[in-house]
Every structure is written in structure tokens, then in C-alpha cells.
Structure 1
Amino acid sequence: MSTASADQRSPSLLDASCEAFVQDLAALSPSAATAWGIPGYEDKLENFSPAYWDAVADRTREMIADIDAFDDCTDDSDDDDDFDDVDHVTAETLRDRLCLELDLHHRLEYYRQLNNIESPVQTISQVFLLMPQDTEEQRELIRARLTQVGPALAGYQESLSEAAAHGKVAAHRQIDEVINQCENLADSGSLLEHLGLPADCPEVEAAQRAFGEMADWLSEHLGPHAPHEDAVGRDRYELFSRYFVGDAVDLDEAYEWGLEQLHDIAAEQRQIVDGLYGPDCSIRQAFRALNNDERYQLHGTGELVEWMQRTADGAIADLADTHFSIPENLRRIECRIDPAGTGGIYYTPPSDDLSRPGRMWWSVPAGQDTFHTWQELTTVYHEGVPGHHLQLGQALSDTAGLNLWRRVVCWIPGHGEGWALYAEKLMDELGYHSDPATRLGYLDAQRLRAARVAVDIGVHLGKKIPEGTTVWDASFARSFLRDNTAMDDANLTFELNRYLGWPGQAPSYALGQRMWDSLREEATARGMSLREFHDTALSYGSIPMSLLRAQILR
């Protein structure tokens, strides 16, 4: 029984156990509760100490024991306690995710985590962006949570110190990046001063001081122990890759595949540039020409947000009831500017009750005032519809078929980001890049994701560069990215540091898309229509691609 046909299914014992698990995780991790839309914890923050990580691991072990106990009771009879098909998918996904999380915990990976995009400093600061600030009651919750910033950062220091005692410290580059982020949060005008409270209120000032003290602590106590080597090595990388992709990957084959993809995409770009500007114009010169073309320019964040919103709304109107079944309550997305200014573009899903809408965030680096629609149109499809907004919203709205853990907690980048890249490709197939300029932008995005595979695996596994006898390092990776993308320097720096500090995550996009493309090809060859494939595949929520393939093709 697929979850798509489970409308009348009653919650099972495993579903109930998952519900309790999520509620316990919400109590342990209040920032996650806010992200999931689970109320009651808005005035709290987890402290990221070793005791916190150990408590999460203990609860995870209990959940695995519950799965095993339920599974042992399952037989071939028709008892209500037996696993049905939905439970089997849930159990397999739980075991995959939770066992990997415990492995990471055992290796102290959570204690030591520190990078420029996904570690406690970013979690602590960005959770405030998800909090409404319209009423006095809402502002009081923000005020209360701000008082927890200092203890949360102090607990984080304990974890970093414990990891350092075992010789596990993030690379110097990542520490420098996080120091800069902490200093920015401590400075006047930081996002902490835009939360609906007076900038000089004691709670804002205390939080800013705490980030400033965190920057000093990192510089004085952790920095001196940090290695300058960015590569994490094959052993750690294989674990990270398995976690992010959701399936085991032949890393050496994937590296060669990434390079082949780059060659093929560059050839397509060359063809478009020849048509636009002639054979004497290089691809990079074409990028510059398009950047200077006023038809593709937006000026200021106001124009950017208006264009994002108009484009996202148009995609929803076009695709609903044609290529996708989009519920009415998901035909709304908010586009916003993230004041953190890190350079990232991301999506935050709706709350579980859909009272908080899905949001597309653009974190504009300081000083950037011009934006180029030829390059970024595909990003709106990636983050919105048919990308993350449709994918995550559809899972959230399926309260009959998916339990709370599968709806709001489980997220496998190979599945999720792979889908978003598949969505970009689908929009190209559907004719949304009939303008050669925006199609060049779409191919630039595809080329970036293929470059990520080569860069990430190349650096962290110490592979030889495509031409020559030296091995990958940050310097070569930077020049390689510059040669293979249209990113400006600010975004390129952010992206490169992200790959170096978050190993295995970036390749999961292209590797996941590869799996989605293969699955669609097999499913449609068996007679499944495109809309049926989309609706059925998305009905499972985020699960390992190998498991999804087994469900779709059985």
C-alpha cells in the first residue's frame, strides 16, 4: 500500500511512537520545534552542550529499540499490531537515519560541528527569523528566547572543548568564518536588532555581547588548535556522503561522472552563447554581457522580492492541476530577505498546521544591490514550485498517510535537494526557459551542481586535479569554481567555504537528481504518466532513494 492510497488508514503503534519521539525531540531541541511548527517552546533554546547531544542520542536509541520491538511482534496474521506497508517504509527510513545519527554522535561529529552554514551559531541566530513579531505576546517570546543565547553558546563551547580534547577541531578556515559571523551578530545593525524589540533593550544587548564573547573564545581557545587542512579524508567523507545522499555512493565513479557532466553542460552553454553573441564570445564574456543587460537586472531588495513573489506565484498558478496536484492550502509562498547577509538562498517549510507559510529567503551580501534574473530564475523554481515548497508542503499536508516524524522531521538531502534539481530540469523541459538567456542561467546552475561533485570529492579525498599531478586544495577549487560558474566573488567565497566545511552535503544535489532522473525514466517506461509519477513519488515524503525506487517500481 503506497501512502498515496492510505487516506483511510488508522495510525499504527509505530506512528504513535514516532509522534512521541518528535514531541520529545521538540522538548530537547526548542529551535527545531520552532522550525517544525510545534508550539510551546518559543521562549527556550537548547544549550548544545555534551549533555544535550547525549540526551538526544539516548532518546534516539530508545526509538530504535521501539522499532525493533514492534517489528519482532509482526507476523503474517492480520493483527492490528502488525506492520503494514506504510510502517515498513517508516521503519526502514527510521533505521537508516537514526543509526547514521548515532554513528555521527559516537564519532563526536555533533560535538565538533562548526562551519559557515549549518552549525549551532547559525541555528541560534536564524531561529529568530522564524518567529512572528506582530503582537506583544510574540515579542515577549523573542525577548525570553534572547536570554537563552548566552547559555546556548556557553554549552556549545563545552562541546567544542570536549571534541578538541580528542583532537577533533574544525579547520581554521571555518573557525575564521564563524568568528566573522559572530562579530557581525554582535555589531550594531545586526539581525538581532530587527526582531521587533528596541535595539537597546537589555535582552538584545546581552545576546549581542554573547556572540561577541563567542567570537573571542573561538579566536583565543579553539583557533590555536585548528588544523589548516580542509580535507576530511575518505573515512569521514564516506559517512557524511551516506548520510547526505541517503544511499551508498561509489565516490570515485561519482567524481568522474561529475567531470563528464561538466563537459557536457559546457558544450550546451557554448551552443547557446554562439547563438546569442557568436563564436568569438566566451561563455564568461556572455555572462558579463547578460549581467550588463538591463532587461535582466533588478535594483534593490524591494525589486528582488517583488520579482521572486511574482515568479513563484506564476509557477504555482501554471502547474497546479496540470503536472501536479497542489492542495489549495499550499498555493501560497512568501518571499523574504534574510538580513544575515551570508549570501545563501534557502527555503523554510510551513509549520505543521500550515499557519506559518512556506518561505523563500534570499540572504543578500552587504553591498549587493543588483540582481540578475537570467541567472536566478531557475533558483525560484528550485526553492518554490515545483521544488521545495511543493515537495515539503505536500508531505506536511498528508496527515492521513504520514506520521509526524515523516512529515516534519525526516529530511534526506539526496532525496530533497535531488528533487529540487529535478524540478529545475522539469521546468526547462516544460518550456520555461525558452529565452536563451534564462536557459543559460539554468545550465549555469546545473553546471555548478556538477562542479560541486568534483570539488567536494576532489578536495576531501585528496584526488589529483583533472589535469596535472598535484592534488585538489582550496586554491585550485576556487579557480575551478570560477571557471565553471557565473557566481560573483562574494557568493563564490561563501559556497566554497560551505563545501570545505560541510563535506558530502553539496554533491547530494546532483547525485540525488541523477537518481530521480533514473527513477522517472523507469517509471514512465512502465506506463506511469508524469503527473502520476510526481504525485505518487512525493506522497512518501523524504525517504532514501533506493527505498523510494523499490516502492515505485514494485
Structure 2
Amino acid sequence: MADQQRTPSSVDAVADSYVDTLARLDPLFATEAGIPGHDHELPDLSPAGHEAYAAAAREVLRALDDAEARAGDDLDATDRVTLAAMRERVGLDVESFDAGDHLSDVNNIASPAQGLRDVIDLMPTATVADWENVAARLTALPAALDGYVETLREGVARGQVAARRQVVEVARQARELAHADESFFTSLVRGPEVDAVLDGSSACSLVRRDLEHGASDARAAYGRLAAFLTDELAAHAPERDAVGRERYARASRQFLGATIDLDEAYAWGLDNLARVVAEQEATARRIAGPGATVEDAVAALDADPARVLDGTDALRAWMQETSDGAIAALDGRHFDIPGPLRTLECRIAPTQSGGIYYTGPSDDMSRPGRMWWSVPPGVTQFSTWREKTTVFHEGVPGHHLQVGQAVFNRAALNRWRRLACWVSGHGEGWALYAERLMADLGFLEDDGDRFGMLDSQRLRAARVVFDLGVHLELPAPEEWGGGTWDADKAWAFLRANVNMDEGFQRFEWMRYLGWPGQAPSYALGQRLWEEARDSSLAADGAAGREPDLRGFHARALALGSVGLDVLRDALSS
């Protein structure tokens, strides 16, 4: 539950003000956080825009120093965590800017090319005013992409360009968005949601016109981006996928909020993968009989009609039922779930990328937390054994409980800690921790569901080896070709350890090659979460108390998303 109301401090004032600055500089963040007033805007992605962002970061670090000096001995524990978390996060933003990381920000999943389009999925569309915002954002999109191109050109001048493989892939995505008939923007402005709101009045006709013009401008802008990437940037892009140790170390800190020994983490990744594989193989034999392989178990589970869902309506209903059941079973026993968080909406996403993701509630809780399933074209059947653990990962006790708890806890946490601080290792590590926790608590006693959880854990374990191995160009085990890791060896390795169709595997392969440090943050984050839990329970025992798992969860989630080094220090103080 939320902490008792505390009087906001001078440190909170600095943090709250910085959220307003971030919303102004990055309207995509404002929409994601549910902060009103910016849904018609897009960020300045030019070099000047990045400089303004870095200047704001430097200023808030100075303001934190001043607030701490003024507060003196009046700083409470909440303020101390805020200071540590903001200095770590904002300081790393400045470090990344100074290193020029933004100059080569091109990858297949999480660069501006995707962010400018994906934010539209989060925009409200229930009123005429909502659609006016959509039209304004579409109209602003060409300027935003022009700024992005300007920044990438500066990267060329400074010799900082993404790998050619990523440039080519993003150009392909941009061409899809530019296509007049098949573009997302075309279907957006001509879809049933538009018709349901814009009912034919003269004012609505003007909005429809603006939407059509905006969609046309957006398609043309993505066409120009595709041409730039293909005809200009690709010529300067290196063939080498590896980013090297210096860049990788910075990315690892960005995604974990912790400084780790990268070589030790790679060795742990190999050992952890072996442990997960052994457990999965043992479970496979229980499913398909003595001597059965993992592939035999997959075939047996896929052939079981009781584990198959037909159509997206059945999928959505199953997601909702599974999520609702988890909330009911966990609340009051292993977690204390506030009333507003007992609602989690499960939806089929309007996109078709194949991903499953969570979006948090708005600041005022009027927009609930939502779990989205982006179903690829042509996919009509779904296996529950594969996905039950995913519902726990994205929902409760995973992202929904974690993110929603922070948003709900406005009595204790300032806006920056509730809305703006997201650390992948904390968030994705918690969600992976939640998957294993549900198995430990008895919610995956069915061998098929447990096998699915292990399948998920195997993917995340393999990511650690893949990502560190390729980007640091570490030695590959003999069974994966020996020598030094590269993209081809990593593809064979991924194929052997990821039980998904080839299209998904290709997407993930490209993702890891282009987004260094992010994929390992799941398993490495889980490792750090489990270490924090074990330390807390051991401290309970050493003090003569009954180990209190529910209490650990409450204390940890009450902190919000912070770097994992900050989390460890806060829980041990």
C-alpha cells in the first residue's frame, strides 16, 4: 500500500519541476506518462534539441546539490533515495550525451524511427479534440524526422554511425510506413475509431481533412527517412555489429542502474543457461516420457487441444481471466494490491509486430494499466502453455504491480520517481523475478505451464551470452563455433535456444545486435533482485524474525523504479 502522506521537500520540488521540463522537451514521454498538454507535440530530435535536453539535465543536477545543501540534516530516507536515483540516472544521461551516443541512435526496435510512430497507440481517441491532437502530431512528424536526420548527419561527421545492418532494417521499416495503401498512417485515419467519433459535422470534416493531410505528410516524411538511410547513411555505416567495451559498459549501466563485472556476468550467463536447459530437459521428460527431448515436449504440448486458443477474441479473454485470477490469488497473501491496481485491461494491440507489452496507468489513474498483445499477420492460434508465464510477467505480479504501485504511491513519491524513472534492469528484472516467483509459489505446477516458464527463462539466459559475447567480442564456446562471437555464430546459438518461429528469432537477433545492454538486463536484473531478496530474508532470520517475503515485496515496490545499485543500498539501510 502507499506510504503515509509526507510533506514534499525541496528535493521533491526539484524532481517535480524536472518532470515538467521532461514533458516539454519530450512530449512522447508526456503521453506515455499520461501528463496532459503535450499530446499535439513532438520532440526536437535535432542536435539543438539534444543539447537542450543535456543542458536541462546539467541544471537539475546543480539544483539537487543546492536542495541537499539547504535541507542539511532534514533530509529523510525518501529524499536520500531520490538524490541517489536522480544523480545516477540524470548523470548518466549527461555522460551519454557527452559521448555522442545519440548520434548513432538507429536500431530495429527502440530508436526515434519507431518511437514517433508507436506513441500514437497510447493517444486517447474518444473525442474530437483527441483526434485533433492526432492530426497535429501527424503534421508535426516531418519536422521531427528532419531533426533526427540532422542528428544522424552530425554522427557521420563525427564518425559515430550505427551498424549497417540496423540502418538497412530501419530503412525497410520506414518504407513500410511510407507506403500509401498499406501504411499504418493510412489505416489510422480511415479506421472505425475515426468514424465512431467524427460523425459528419462541418467541424468534424475539417478534422478528417487534417488527419488525411497529416497522414500524407507522415508517409512522405518516412519515405524521405528511408531514402536518407539507404542512399546516404548506409554508405558510412560500419559492417561490424560489436559496439566495444567502452560503449557497452555505459549501456549496461544505463539498463541496469548498476555497475557489474562484464566478464563475470558473461561467465555467469553461460552457467545460468546450462542450469535452465537442464531443468527444461527434465521437465520435457515428464511431459513426453523417458528420453524425450525439448522438441518432443513442444510437439506434445502444441498437439494438446486443451492448450490451444482459436482467434484473438479467445486470446484476449484468456489473458483477462488469467490476469484477474492472479490478482485475486495474490492480493492479501503475498502482496498488498491497492484497489485501483486490481483492474488490468488486456487488449489486442493495433500493431502486428508480435510483441507483448505493458503500458502503465496515467498519473491520475483514469487510464488503467494495460497488457497488449501485438499479433502478427495470419496468426490465429495461440498456445496457453507458452504464454501463461508472460501474463504474470506483464501483469501481476510483474510490470502492472511494479509500475502501477509507483504511480499509485503519490503520497510518498514525487512525480519523477512515479512517472519518469524507469530502469530496465529494475523493471524487466522484476518481471522475470515475478515469473520464477509464481513457479515457486505453486502457480505453475502444471508441467506444461512450467515448461513455458522455463522456455521464457532460457530465452533470457541466452540473451546474456549473446549480447555480451557479440558486443564485447568474447570467446565463443567450442559448441558454438569457437573463436570470437559474431552475428553468424550468435544466430545459430539463438536458433538452438529460442523456441519461436524464425520470424520472431530474426527480429530478436537483430534487436540484440542493435540495442546493446538491454536484452541482458532481464536475467541480470532478475539475478540482482533475487540477491536483494535473499539478503533481506537472511537479515530477518539473523534478527530472530520470521523471514517476511511479503514485507520485502512491499518495501521494494514502494521505492518505485530505481537503479539496482540504489535499490540494494536503500533496502539495506
TM class by smaller structure: over 0.9
**Aligned 8 A contact 2:393 2:435 in 1:** yes
State the 1:12 CA deviation. Answer: 0.4
**Aligned 8 A contact 1:191 1:339 in 2:** no
Following the alignment from structure 1 to structure 2, what is the Cα–Cα distance between the partners of residues 165 and 322?
58
- 1:161 matched to 2:172? The reply is no
Alignment correspondent of 2:184: 191
Deviations along 1:329-369, whole A, 9 cap, x unmatched?
A: 11111222233322222111111111111111222223322
**Aligned 8 A contact 1:418 1:513 in 2:** yes
Match of 2:316 among 280, 300, 305: 305
Q: 1:289 to 1:194 in 2, by over 3 A?
A: farther
Match of 1:94 among 66, 83, 86: 86
Alignment correspondent of 1:520: 533
Between 301-310 and 160-169, the greater mean CA deviation after superposition: 301-310
Amino acid aligned to 2:96: L
- 1:495 matched to 2:508? The reply is yes
Q: 1:368 to 1:173 in 2, by over 3 A?
A: farther
Deviations along 1:409-442, whole A, 9 cap, x unmatched?
A: 0011111111101110111011111110110010
Amino acid aligned to 1:506: A
- 1:249 matched to 2:260? The reply is yes
State the 1:482 CA deviation. Answer: 1.5
State the 1:6 CA deviation. Answer: 4.9
Alignment correspondent of 1:532: 551
State the 1:394 CA deviation. Answer: 0.4
Between 334-343 and 160-169, the greater mean CA deviation after superposition: 334-343
Alignment correspondent of 2:136: 144
Q: 1:471 to 1:272 in 2, by over 3 A?
A: same
State the 1:495 CA deviation. Answer: 1.1
Following the alignment from structure 1 to structure 2, what is the Cα–Cα distance between the partners of residues 354 and 64?
30
**Aligned 8 A contact 1:343 1:494 in 2:** no
**Aligned 8 A contact 1:381 1:387 in 2:** yes
**Aligned 8 A contact 2:256 2:424 in 1:** yes
Deviations along 1:385-429, whole A, 9 cap, x unmatched?
A: 000000000000111110000000001111111110111011101
Alignment correspondent of 2:239: 228
Alignment correspondent of 2:570: 551
**Aligned 8 A contact 1:246 1:412 in 2:** yes
Alignment correspondent of 1:180: 172
**Aligned 8 A contact 1:262 1:447 in 2:** yes
**Aligned 8 A contact 1:53 1:111 in 2:** no
Deviations along 1:293-336, whole A, 9 cap, x unmatched?
A: 32222233222222212211211121112211111111111222
State the 1:208 CA deviation. Answer: 1.6
- 1:291 matched to 2:302? The reply is yes
SS at match of 2:72: coil
**Aligned 8 A contact 1:255 1:453 in 2:** yes
Match of 2:269 among 258, 272, 283: 258
Question: What is the total number of aligned residue pairs between the two structures?
Answer: 546
Alignment correspondent of 2:23: 26
Give the alignment of 1:400-419 within 5 angstroms: 400-419=411-430
Following the alignment from structure 1 to structure 2, what is the Cα–Cα distance between the partners of residues 145 and 450?
39
Following the alignment from structure 2 to structure 1, what is the Cα–Cα distance between the partners of residues 212 and 569?
56
Following the alignment from structure 1 to structure 2, what is the Cα–Cα distance between the partners of residues 548 and 32?
23
Following the alignment from structure 2 to structure 1, what is the Cα–Cα distance between the partners of residues 165 and 351?
19
State the 1:268 CA deviation. Answer: 1.0
Following the alignment from structure 2 to structure 1, what is the Cα–Cα distance between the partners of residues 324 and 182?
32
Alignment correspondent of 1:79: none
Give the alignment of 1:121-132 within 5 angstroms: 121-132=113-124
Between 530-539 and 182-191, the greater mean CA deviation after superposition: 182-191
State the 1:13 CA deviation. Answer: 0.8
- 1:219 matched to 2:216? The reply is no
Following the alignment from structure 1 to structure 2, what is the Cα–Cα distance between the partners of residues 277 and 177?
40
**Aligned 8 A contact 1:30 1:41 in 2:** yes
**Aligned 8 A contact 2:461 2:523 in 1:** yes
Give the alignment of 1:116-515 within 5 angstroms: 116-187=108-179, 188-192=181-185, 193-194=187-188, 196-197=193-194, 201-467=212-478, 468-515=481-528
Deviations along 1:232-285, whole A, 9 cap, x unmatched?
A: 111110111111111111111111111111111111111111112123322123
Amino acid aligned to 1:445: S
Following the alignment from structure 1 to structure 2, what is the Cα–Cα distance between the partners of residues 544 and 139?
37
Unpaired stretches in structure 2, ≥5 consecutive residues? 195-207, 541-546
TM-score, normalising length: structure 2: 0.92
Unpaired stretches in structure 1, ≥5 consecutive residues? 77-81
Match of 1:104 among 96, 108, 114: 96
Deviations along 1:139-196, whole A, 9 cap, x unmatched?
A: 1111111101111111110011111111111111111221122122223243322354
**Aligned 8 A contact 2:470 2:487 in 1:** yes
Amino acid aligned to 2:419: V
CA RMSD, 1 decimal: 1.6
State the 1:225 CA deviation. Answer: 1.1
Identity of aligned residues (%): 48
Following the alignment from structure 1 to structure 2, what is the Cα–Cα distance between the partners of residues 359 and 113?
28
Following the alignment from structure 1 to structure 2, what is the Cα–Cα distance between the partners of residues 493 and 271?
28
**Aligned 8 A contact 2:2 2:408 in 1:** no
State the 1:36 CA deviation. Answer: 0.9
Following the alignment from structure 2 to structure 1, what is the Cα–Cα distance between the partners of residues 99 and 7?
39
Following the alignment from structure 1 to structure 2, what is the Cα–Cα distance between the partners of residues 339 and 172?
30
State the 1:34 CA deviation. Answer: 0.5
**Aligned 8 A contact 1:31 1:45 in 2:** yes
